[in-house]
Structure 1
Amino acid sequence: MTAKEIVKAFYNSDFANDAQIVSQFFHKDCELHWTSSRGFVLMDYKDLKEFFKGTRESYNSIRFEFTHLIEAGNYVTTRHTLFGHTIENPDTEAALAHFSAIWEVKEDKLYRGYEISHQADENDYASIASYKEIKI
């Protein structure tokens, strides 16, 4: 598989229900450098296992909508919105956050991720419209 196909498969997987997500997609020596509205966090393989465990405990389903998915060798750049159905409100899907990420793929696994995110505001028409412009 190409780096782009691996990244697409990761984002198309069942984040909310698949306990094997980390072992299936992440390199044992992976790092995720993530800057969000809460600040910077550096996660390794063990941290990602905990993170996705929390995701499975909070959401019934998660999906991503992409505006950009660009491959250059072993690197894939994405721009996307995260949507989810929480356990508390399973009948309503909400836009949760907007992301830009750069993934390095090594040995057919996600090896290094550099991600920036901010909370989605469904009342901000310009922002939502910007993330609806599909450029793939």
Structure 2
Amino acid sequence: MQYDSDQIAQILPHRYPFALVDRIVDGEEGKWAKGIKCVTVNEPFFQGHFPQKHVMPGVLIVEAMAQVGGVAVLALPSNRGKLAFLGGIKNARFRRQVVPGDVLEITCTLTKQRGPVGIGEAEARVGGELAASAELTFAIGG
């Protein structure tokens, strides 16, 4: 499974400035996905977080992880055109700062699904080093 930004936009409803996945580089529909987020100094959130030292907000790293998981679940033909809502975040941990010039390599593996609700285990890495991880709960809706 590989998608460029145009193909991701056909799966996810997110648009600028909230489209936080540049590319899906690997995965299996309905099971897992690996995505890339290239962090640049031009990101709008750097205007206020923080003007004196640019650091990507942890909440947006979690959102990027959720979007990668969203691609994994919404890429299934039976889920096309639906929405994946973030329903919960457990055990979120932030291990390193993410700054302009970093390339986030994000993986999300769907570990459970019962009806429209599921759980994904997500990680974001920079150069192989763990930057963040979390267990994400999602709900698929129309």
Q: How high is the TM-score relative to the length of structure 2?
A: 0.29
Q: Give the structure with the higher percent strand.
A: 1
